[in-house]
Amino acid sequence: MRIACWQATCAPGGVPAFLEALESVARRAADGGAALLVTPEMSVGGYPLSAAALAEAREPATGRHSAAVARIARESGVAIVHGWPEAAGSVVHNTAAVTSPTGRLLAYRKGHLYGPQERALFAPGSDGVVQARFGGFTVGLLICYDVEFPEAVRAHALAGTDLLVVPTALMRPWDFVARVVVPARAFENGLFLVYTNWSGDRDGLGFCGLTRVVGPDGAVLAAAGDGEELLFADIDPARVLAARSRTTYLQDRRPELYEPAP
Active site residues: 41, 110, 144
Burial class (CB in 10 A: 0-12, 13-18, 19+), 246: exposed
Q: What is the DSSP track for 120-176?
A: HH-PPP--S--EEEETTEEEEE--GGGGG-HHHHHHHHHTT--EEEEE---BTT-HH
Q: What is the DSSP track for 50-79?
A: -HHHHHHH-B-TT-HHHHHHHHHHHHHT-E
Are 163 and 192 in contact by the 8 Å Cβ rule? The answer is yes
Distance CA 146, CA 141 (A): 10
Q: Report how many helices (DSSP H) and strands (DSSP E) the chain contains, helices first.
A: 9, 14
Burial class (CB in 10 A: 0-12, 13-18, 19+), 144: buried
Q: Following CA atoms 121, 144, 35, 130 in sequence, which dihedral angle do they give, to the nearest 10 degrees? A: -80
The CA-atom distances, in angstroms, between 225 and each of 7, 106, 141, 175, 229 are: 9, 29, 23, 11, 8
- How many Cβ atoms from other residues are within 10 Å of residue 252's Cβ? 7
